Chains A and B, each alone.
Chain A
Amino acid sequence: MPDAWDVPLLTEWLTGFRDAVDQAGEELTALDSAIGDADHGSNMRRGLAAAVAAVSQAPPADCGAFFKTVGMSLVSNVGGASGPLYGTLFLRMGTVAGTAGTLAIQLFGECLQAGLDGLVQRGKAQPGDKTMVDAMLPAVRAYDEVAADGGPMVSALTAAAQAAAQGRDGTTPMEAKKGRASYLGERSVGHQDPGATSMTLLFETAAKVFA
């Protein structure tokens, strides 16, 4: 297997993410019932189903087009805040990927960083605010460390997935500063963040593609 993403592998990633969110649907909804409006699971399922349908009906010509198609599908079909957040993440990845047919370890890292920057800019969340940033930021840092040593991709993505899971677990004692959960103040402490949970699934699924 080549050590780089291409459109078929990205499609495998997206499909795997959809399946993972489908399987975790009840867990995501339960987490979001505790501190949110109980729709993260169903919203993400609807958005990802639309994204998978969009890339299968008209297979994108390059990696940038792939990410843009996914981003716009999420933007128009998720409904809740995770729509513009995940949408911005994928749209920014698409801007960096451009017309590239493959994304090797360095360029994919730049895509991830642009996605993270977009996510932070859109949501204005800081680390420690109990959001998906708390999973993605350590994931991108961990990816970059392995990428700086030359990879391979599976090692970088596995490190990213482990860091995301740690970051997700770290959201439990945090007090929410963003979104519906922030209205609960200190009563949000003790609950794992649903957004950080789905974000971890995104990285875990990416690692599986190259495993």
Chain B
Amino acid sequence: MTVGIVVVSHSRALADAAVALAAEMVPAGSVPVRVAAGAPDMSFGTDAAEIAAAIQAADGASDGAGVVVLLDLGSAILSTQLALDLVPADVRDRTIVSPAPLVEGLVVAMINASIGTPRERVAADASGALQPKQSQLAAD
């Protein structure tokens, strides 16, 4: 059982690149990841129906471990919340939407998911993903 990760962004290129960066940190194929990003005409945008499908796909590949969603901002948040209205109740109950910063949070989430961490802990650690950067950059 491995938690599935969904990345929601206004930009397909941004989401794919963030996933590629985070995937460098874990064994290949160890975490089910799905992307829902960009408008149908390849401009910037989000699509709640596409996000709902990505959540269901990631959940299906998680063998019951559930899903953590990482997202950028603005309509990504609103569309993801609407997507939760569109998925079956049991899938919704197994899905956590993380307020983590997208790139840092995704890296932390992928590493945790790859070692079999439960979704609540994956989401909690992702939410604290800015801490190492903050402490590193803090004034001495």
Contact B45–A78 (Cβ < 8 Å) = yes
Contact B43–A79 (Cβ < 8 Å) = yes
One of B25-33, B71-79, B115-123, B126-134 at the interface: B71-79
Partner of A46, one of B41, B50, B82: B41
Contact B48–A83 (Cβ < 8 Å) = yes
What 1/0 flags go to B49-90 for Cβ under 8 Å of A? 110000000000000000000000011001101100100000
One of A84-92, A149-157, A168-176, A184-192 at the interface: A84-92
Contact B48–A122 (Cβ < 8 Å) = no
Q: Number of A-B pairs whose CB atoms are under 8 Å?
A: 59
Q: Answer whether A81 and B48 are a contact pair too, CB < 8 Å, given A46-B41, A75-B82, A76-B40.
A: no
Contacts of A98 in B (CB 8 A): none
**Cα-based distance from A77 to B49 in the complex (angstroms):** 10
Does chain B have a CB within 8 A of A180?
yes
Contacts of B39 in A (CB 8 A): 46, 77, 79
Contact A79–B49 (Cβ < 8 Å) = no
Contact A87–B48 (Cβ < 8 Å) = yes
Does chain B have a CB within 8 A of A206?
no
Nearest CB on B from A198, distance (A): 15
Nearest CB on A from B55, distance (A): 14
Nearest CB on A from B85, distance (A): 8
Main secondary structure of the interface of A (DSSP, over half): helix
**Cα-based distance from A50 to B89 in the complex (angstroms):** 28
Partner of A84, one of B40, B41, B50, B81: B81
Partner of B49, one of A72, A179, A180: A72
Does chain A have a CB within 8 A of B46?
yes
Contacts of B79 in A (CB 8 A): 75, 83-84
Contacts of A122 in B (CB 8 A): 78, 81-82
Contact A180–B41 (Cβ < 8 Å) = no
Nearest CB on A from B78, distance (A): 4
Contact B75–A83 (Cβ < 8 Å) = yes
| Most chain B C-beta atoms within 10 Å of own C-beta, residue among A39, A80, A85, A88 | A80
Chain B: residues with Cβ within 8 Å of the partner, total of 19
Chain A: residues with Cβ within 8 Å of the partner, total of 21
Contact B50–A76 (Cβ < 8 Å) = yes
Contact A123–B78 (Cβ < 8 Å) = yes
Nearest CB on A from B71, distance (A): 12
Looking across the interface, which residue of chain A has its beta carbon closest to that of B73? A180
Looking across the interface, which residue of chain B has its beta carbon closest to that of A80? B75
What 1/0 flags go to A178-210 for Cβ under 8 Å of B? 011000000000000000000000000000000
Does chain B have a CB within 8 A of A43?
yes
Contact A81–B47 (Cβ < 8 Å) = no
Which residues from chain A sit less than 8 Å from chain B, CB to CB? 39, 43, 46, 72, 75-81, 83-85, 87-88, 91, 122-123, 179-180
The 4 A-B pairs with the shortest beta carbon distances in the complex, nearest first, are: A79-B45, A79-B39, A84-B78, A81-B75
Which residues from chain B sit less than 8 Å from chain A, CB to CB? 10, 39-41, 43-50, 74-75, 78-79, 81-82, 85
Contacts A83-B48, A91-B85, A180-B74 known; 18 new A-B pairs at CB < 8 A:
A39-B44, A75-B79, A75-B82, A76-B40, A76-B48, A76-B49, A77-B40, A78-B45, A79-B75, A81-B75, A83-B46, A83-B75, A84-B46, A84-B48, A84-B75, A84-B81, A88-B82, A122-B78
